[in-house]
Each structure stands twice: as structure tokens, then as C-alpha cells.
Chain A
């Protein structure tokens, strides 16, 4: 026992045993002190401020020596109340909120929300083909940028820094495309109920095709670095084991489920946005471990590139076609021209409502202030996000705002498997197992 209070490393007695607070300082002193207690079982609080926990995840570990006997997750540190806030916004404004949930896959959040809203409106089949193709294009680009973070940070957490440089270099290319198309790199609120916010800029598909070629070459950097690398294999093979029975009972979807050999991918099994018209393969492995999930993500990159190329062809073929439903009540505020003040505006529309038609003015006012109404009912729409099934359960009471919106977040659900994957393993393998789940705390806590 130390006799003075060290603000960076102190201990105190509680009914549960000695509690050591460690925030830095002299580790040798701490290790000596813990060694003197003759207690084999220690409880370690890892996070919520820990670089290896993907944001603010807190893990409470019970250790016997270096073996983990119990893991419990503490979440909620990034709870933002998006589901509550959205009940006070119009249906269109909702997109701006959901895009901020899982911040690494914003376009999937938007698509799930919009598909559900369109189902409620009964306009699922009215969404133009070009809009669906653009959605697919954006989602697959987003899948690449999301997998890049999963791979890069996963490798970094296991001690390999170079893969992260390569991964973030490729992610940058995708974010540049997002910026070119929507004006924003993240949280773009680009996909709207009824279609997408605006058409692709001129030359976009050409630029994307070039980027795809470059990425296809550049992905090899990480593949040569990691696939078959003996250090990487030792840290990932047989780690974080979760078999098919475990996955189904825990409701696990996405790469973790596919690492058990089950080719379950909503893009194939329950297609949306016209995925049935694209030629791609569902990637699986049968190892049920971290290495298998890593391989799935690596190989899904190539499948995404294939889909992107096909989507570009489709978009080029549909040049000039609309990207929003024809119903002007829903399409607002999609069709704007650049006004003299540099902001989006429609001078023709202003001329009509201010000069010629009182009726148009009334409609304009009502649509702008309260938005469109959505018939009462409830729906559930799911998409295959990079992390698994992302479902949106939306209830409408017939008003201009969602009555209740709940996102079934794959990160939230899959994080439950941490205990099943890690208990009985070494403490260092927790990092690899959690990284293979790829939880994004913005999605977990919403």
C-alpha cells in the first residue's frame, strides 16, 4: 500500500477488494503493488476512453491471470437520442438525423430509412430506376470506405500500422467521390424519400470508373501485407470463435454470420434497390474466426467494385432520367437551380407562386413548413449494411412527422456476442474479437 495519494495511480480498499485507479504514471509500481495482493482474479475496466475499443465502448473484464473469465459491455456513452428527436422533425428532415447514427455507413442508414418511408407512402415501385442505381452505387462505395476503416483500425489495434495507412488512403478516394457527388464527405443526407437529393454531376461516372481501377490495384497492398502473414494469422486464426448456432440465437448478421459459411446476404436473399439485377457473389468462409471475417471484408471489396462498375453502366444508360419520384409534394426540395445568391433556388417556381397562382403559394407554404403527410401504419425495411442487417421500424400516425422510428442496428446487436467470443480466451485476443465485430458506437448507442 502506498502511503501518499498519487493522483495518477492510487488505490483504495472497498468491500469488493482493493481498487486501483490507473490513469498513467509509473506502471512498475502498480504491477508490484498488484503482485503483492496474492489475488489471482482481477477485474479490469477497459474503456470507455481506450484507443482499441472503437470509440466509447466500455468492457468490464474479469481476469484469472491472463485468461478472461467474464466480459461485459458497457454502452450508452454516445447516446444522442436521435430516435426521439426525429419525432419532432418532418419526414425529409429525418434523413439528416439517421445519417449520423452509424457514421461510417451513413448511406445505409439513409437508404433503410427511405425504403421504410417509401413503403409507408406506397411509392416503392415509383422510385426511378436511375435513383435506385445511384443508391446502389453510393452504398457500395460506402461499403468500401466502411470496410477500409474496419480493416485499417482492426490491424492497427493488433499492432500493424501500415495496413491502416493503405486503408485510409483508399477511404480518402471514396470520400472524395462522395464530396464530388453530394458536397459532403460524411453525413451527407443524400438519399431522400422518393429518390436522391440531386443528380450526379457531369463526368461523375467517368471519375468513378477511374477510381475503381486505381482501387482495384491498390487493394492488393493490404492483401499482400496481411493474407498469409504469419504474425497476422497467429493473432487472428481461431480467435473470437462463434459458430452458426451461436450466430442465429444471438441474431448476428453480416460478415460475422457469413464467416460461419452461411451465405446470408440481404442483397441476394431479399433484394432491394434493384440488387437482383447486379452480378456479384456473396463471400463466405467457414472458419468462424477473426481471420475468416477479415478475409470476407477483403473479398467483399472486389464484389463492391464489380457492383459499382455495373451501376455506372446503368446510370450512363439512363442519362437524363429523373432521380426523384414525379410527385412534387414528396420531391421537394430536390429540384433546385443555383440562384443568384449562390443558394439553391428555383426562379421559375418563385415567379409562379409569387406572381401567378395563389393556390401554388398556399401549397408551397404548406409543403415547406410542414412537409408531406405519410399514411398511418407501420413498416420494417432492412438493408445489408457493412455490419449486417440494418432495419428501420417506422410507425406513422398519418401526420407530417414520424410517430416512432427505431433502428435495428447491427452494431448494437452484434456487440452482444463479445462475451460468447471472448470468455476463456487471452486478454489480448479481446481486441481482435471486438475489431472483427466492427462495432460503430454511433450506431450502437444512436
Chain B
């Protein structure tokens, strides 16, 4: 996303003081125990069922009433199987990619929302990989329903899910170049002339951010 709109304002372009609301960076550290709610139980159960917990889980983040486990990619399938079989997270609600170009070495994130019907609980797994080695093991063997979701994330972000039964594009045409949801992929569009005035393409319009 370019910071330069039609008027070329860098940053927020704010001179009023209104924007004195400082952007708070996303929490990067681990949350401290107790996590609250059922999150302590989930963490305890996982530690008990999975001896390699401290090695596989990089961070445990509790934010806005949601638990996120940051998992090392090599351990993702192992952890997923334990979560499904021992902790009864029967369902994986897909995978959503996020591209953070400024996080050097961990630019691409894959986020897996999990649902336990037995215990009526939700948690989230997050895996981050560098852009130049965007490989994550596929969890399709654990949750078959992630098949299309992983294809979509590959299509949109270029994350390669190793072991996926057929990792092809799903939404974009097969011969498409690039991965549209990445931040370095321009929105595109064409300017439109209307009654003599030209309206710029959406990503070229003036913006106050």
C-alpha cells in the first residue's frame, strides 16, 4: 500500500493534532499467566499431552478474549494432531494468510482458527515464515476441510503448503502472475472519466491515513 495518495501526503498527513492517537504496535511478547477463561486449561492440557510444548510453541498470546498459539512450522502437524485427538478441536475453520512486509524473516503468517465442538472452545494457531522460504506443512491430513482454504491462501499469498494433495490456484485463473493479497501487489484499477473530470483508480485516490 503506497503512503502517497493523490496529494502525496506521507504518513498520516495530519497537522491538526487530532491524529495524536498514536498507532499502537501489535503485541509482540508472550502473555503472562494466568491467561484467564479456559485458556489456562487449554495450555495445561496441551503441555500434558504434548511433551515438546515449550519447543514447539513460540508464544502464547491472549488478546481481546482470544487465545493464539504461535507454532513453529516444523511442529505444526504434530501439534495439530494432538489438538484434534487429545484436546478435541475437531474442526479447523480454515486458514487465513496475513502479509507483514516489515517483519523481516517472518513476513508471511498463516492463521488457523480452531473449534472444539466437544468443549465449545475456540483457539487460534499462527505460523510465520520468511518470504523467501514460504513453506508450511499442510494440515489437510489432519483436517481434510482445509484443502480449499490452503489452496486459497496459496493463491492469494504464495505460501506453499507442503504435502497438500493438489496445491493449485483456486480463485484466480491458473495462469495468473503474482499473489493478489500480498501487500506488494498493487490494487490496480483504471481511472474513469466522468463529465470531463478524471477519477483516479482506487489505489491512486487521495487518502488521509
Partners in one complex: yes
Interface residues of A (CB under 8 A from B): 75-76, 79, 81, 83-85, 87-88, 119-120, 122, 248-253, 262, 264, 269-270, 362-363, 365-366, 369-370, 373, 375-380, 382, 389, 391, 393, 395, 397-401, 403-404, 406, 408, 412-413, 415-416, 445-446
Q: Is A248's CB under 8 angstroms from B90's CB?
A: yes
Given A76-B173, A369-B208, are A270 and B18 neighbors across the interface (CB < 8 Å)?
no
B104-136 vs A, CB cutoff 8 Å, 1 = contact: the mask equals 000000010101010010101000000000000
Q: Which residue of A lies closest to B91 (CB)?
A: A251
Contact of A270 among B97, B120, B148 (CB under 8 A): B120
A305 CB to nearest chain B CB (Å):
27
Q: Is A380's CB under 8 angstroms from B208's CB?
A: no
Q: Is A85's CB under 8 angstroms from B202's CB?
A: yes
Residues of B within 8 A of A264 (CB): 117
Q: Give the distance in Å from the alpha carbon of A380 to the alpha carbon of B111 in the complex.
A: 10
Given A75-B171, A389-B93, A391-B93, are A377 and B98 neighbors across the interface (CB < 8 Å)?
no
Q: Is B64's CB under 8 angstroms from A251's CB?
A: no
Q: Is B209's CB under 8 angstroms from A400's CB?
A: yes
Given A122-B64, A393-B96, A413-B94, are A250 and B144 neighbors across the interface (CB < 8 Å)?
yes
Report the contact-size class of chain B (Cβ under 8 Å from the partner).
35 or more
Q: Give the distance in Å from the alpha carbon of A373 to the alpha carbon of B24 in the complex.
A: 11
Contact of A376 among B19, B25, B93 (CB under 8 A): B25
Residues of B within 8 A of A406 (CB): 96-97
Residues of B within 8 A of A375 (CB): 24
Q: Is A366's CB under 8 angstroms from B25's CB?
A: no
Instruction: Determine if B149 is an interface residue (Cβ-Cβ < 8 Å).
Output: yes
Q: Is A79's CB under 8 angstroms from B171's CB?
A: yes
Count of CB-CB pairs between chains A and B under 8 Å: 135
Tell me the residues in window 132-152 of chain B with beta carbons closer than 8 Å to chain A beta carbons.
143-149, 152
Q: Is A76's CB under 8 angstroms from B93's CB?
A: no
Q: Is A88's CB under 8 angstroms from B187's CB?
A: yes
Q: Is A251's CB under 8 angstroms from B145's CB?
A: yes
Q: Is A408's CB under 8 angstroms from B1's CB?
A: no
Contact of B23 among A83, A363, A399, A408 (CB under 8 A): A399
Main secondary structure of the interface of A (DSSP, over half): mixed
Q: Give the distance in Å from the alpha carbon of A444 to the alpha carbon of B5 in the complex.
A: 32
A244 CB to nearest chain B CB (Å):
10
Q: Give the distance in Å from the alpha carbon of A366 to the alpha carbon of B16 in the complex.
A: 9
Q: Is A251's CB under 8 angstroms from B143's CB?
A: yes
B109 CB to nearest chain A CB (Å):
9
Q: Is A252's CB under 8 angstroms from B148's CB?
A: no
CB pairs A–B below 8 angstroms (19 shown) = A75-B170, A76-B169, A76-B173, A85-B202, A249-B144, A251-B91, A251-B143, A251-B146, A370-B12, A370-B209, A373-B21, A379-B66, A382-B93, A397-B23, A399-B23, A401-B209, A404-B98, A412-B148, A413-B149
Counting chain B CB atoms within 10 Å of each CB, the highest count among A84, A120, A269 belongs to A84
Instruction: Determine if B26 is an interface residue (Cβ-Cβ < 8 Å).
Output: yes
Q: Give the distance in Å from the alpha carbon of A379 to the alpha carbon of B149 in the complex.
A: 18
Q: Give the distance in Å from the alpha carbon of A442 to the alpha carbon of B180 in the complex.
A: 18
Q: Is A76's CB under 8 angstroms from B172's CB?
A: yes
Q: Is B113's CB under 8 angstroms from A366's CB?
A: no
Q: Which residue of B lies closest to A394 (CB)?
A: B96
A368 CB to nearest chain B CB (Å):
9
Query: Which 3 A/B pairs are nearest by Cβ-Cβ distance?
Result: A251-B145, A398-B23, A406-B96
Contact of B26 among A269, A377, A416 (CB under 8 A): A377
Q: Is A81's CB under 8 angstroms from B180's CB?
A: yes
Q: Which residue of B lies closest to A445 (CB)?
A: B171
Instruction: Determine if B99 is an interface residue (Cβ-Cβ < 8 Å).
Output: yes
Q: Give the distance in Å from the alpha carbon of A81 to the alpha carbon of B115 in the complex.
A: 27
Q: Give the distance in Å from the alpha carbon of A122 to the alpha carbon of B24 in the complex.
A: 14
Q: Is A378's CB under 8 angstroms from B111's CB?
A: yes
Given A398-B25, A404-B98, are A120 and B14 neighbors across the interface (CB < 8 Å)?
no
Contact of B181 among A84, A251, A389, A397 (CB under 8 A): A84
Residues of A within 8 A of B90 (CB): 248
Q: Give the distance in Å from the alpha carbon of A75 to the alpha carbon of B115 in the complex.
A: 26
Given contacts A79-B172, A408-B96, 11 further A-B contacts (CB under 8 A): A79-B171, A120-B64, A248-B90, A269-B120, A366-B19, A378-B111, A379-B64, A389-B93, A393-B111, A398-B23, A406-B96
